[in-house]
Amino acid sequence: MTWICHKTGVASVEVGRVTGSLSVPSSDELSVEEPLEIRLS
């Protein structure tokens, strides 16, 4: 499941951390990128 905080621009996502042949469910935080538009008059 992905949880996004629009106020901080951070998403918490579920990942699988692999060490050798062992995979363990975990969570990680990612930066959310959004398009930027600049208009000049």
Indicate the average pLDDT of the chain: 87
Inform me whether the pLDDT recorded for 5 exceeds 80. Answer: no
**Domain annotation covers residue 23:** yes
The pTM (predicted TM-score) of the whole model is 0.53
Q: Which domain holds residue 26?
A: 1-32
Which one-letter amino acid corresponds to residue 2?
A: T
- What pLDDT score was predicted for residue 39? 94
CB 28 within 8 Å of CB 13: yes
**Domain annotation covers residue 40:** no
**Domain annotation covers residue 3:** yes
Location of structure tokens 């905080």: 5
Q: What is the tally of structural domains in the chain?
A: 1
Pairing of strands 22-31, 3-5: unpaired
CB 15 within 8 Å of CB 28: yes
**Domain annotation covers residue 2:** yes
- What pLDDT score was predicted for residue 27? 92
**Domain annotation covers residue 15:** yes
**Domain annotation covers residue 10:** yes
